[in-house]
Homo-oligomer: A and B are copies of this chain.
């Protein structure tokens, strides 16, 4: 194969597996050429990507080392996207009686969900977790997309005990905003003991559900190492969980005036860390 063809082939493999470490031998075998040629090819790919801001090709030395494609995280791009979300969610026809906001079109739209999930996944890129955990129903697509990006299995807590799930662990928890006592259920098989988990959900008000998941993880002898939500309300400021990352912060809904006050959440703090790394 000619150099140009080898470069096309290597670029394709790297782009399809962001984050994965590839040994040089893998490419020299695939392309039936010398390791030195592969190394030269990779230098050219690296230089092209750097010139065009397409991401980084990192070289990791030592045993288990190789090369790795790190997609470029453009903070400005996500800031622009979050601004767009704020505009979408400020439209008054989104208000649902009872001081709620209609989100289903956004949280079930794969293009939107992928970007929301990227924000949350990048926020937890330096956290080593074994599972992503969510509660049915509306958080599932975002949680699934985060799990996909972090290459982790997802566990979905049910709000009803279903016969198809087998033996479950159940806990009672107090919904932080309505003060109702509810029960949630997770199959015993869903989480192995001594695991670390990231909680992802679409909405957080007082944090009662998140607190319930934290308690449930104790029953699985596991711990929560990160909490990420799509929308967190400003009030109550004192949540039942201490730390979380939000994409959007909902300051308030004025049903009479038809006004929704929403702004960017605090995800940007975590992104500053990634920028330093780049």
How close is A113's CB to chain B, nearest CB, in angstroms? 7
On whether the beta carbons of A5 and B111 are closer than 8 Å, the reply is: no
**Binary contact track A102-142/B, C-beta < 8 Å → 1, others 0:** 11110011110110000000000000000000001110110
A75 interface residue per 8 A CB criterion? no
On whether the beta carbons of A163 and B98 are closer than 8 Å, the reply is: yes
Q: Name the CB-closest residue of B to A106.
A: B153
Q: How many copies does the complex hold?
A: 2
On whether the beta carbons of A11 and B5 are closer than 8 Å, the reply is: no
Query: Which residues of A (78-116) have their CB < 8 Å from a CB of B?
Result: 96-98, 100-105, 108-111, 113-114
On whether the beta carbons of B144 and A2 are closer than 8 Å, the reply is: no
Q: Which A residues are within 8 Å of any B CB, using their own CB?
A: 1-9, 11-12, 15-16, 30, 41, 44-45, 47-49, 51-52, 54, 96-98, 100-105, 108-111, 113-114, 136-138, 140-141, 144-145, 147-148, 151-156, 158, 163-166, 187, 189-190
25 A–B pairs (Cβ distance < 8 Å), ordered by A: A3-B4, A4-B4, A5-B48, A7-B11, A8-B11, A8-B49, A11-B11, A11-B15, A12-B15, A12-B49, A30-B52, A96-B164, A102-B187, A102-B189, A103-B164, A104-B187, A105-B153, A109-B154, A110-B148, A110-B153, A113-B148, A136-B137, A138-B156, A140-B140, A140-B144
Closest 10 pairs between A and B when the two form their complex, measured CB to CB? A5-B48, A110-B148, A11-B11, A8-B48, A4-B44, A96-B166, A8-B45, A108-B154, A15-B15, A136-B137
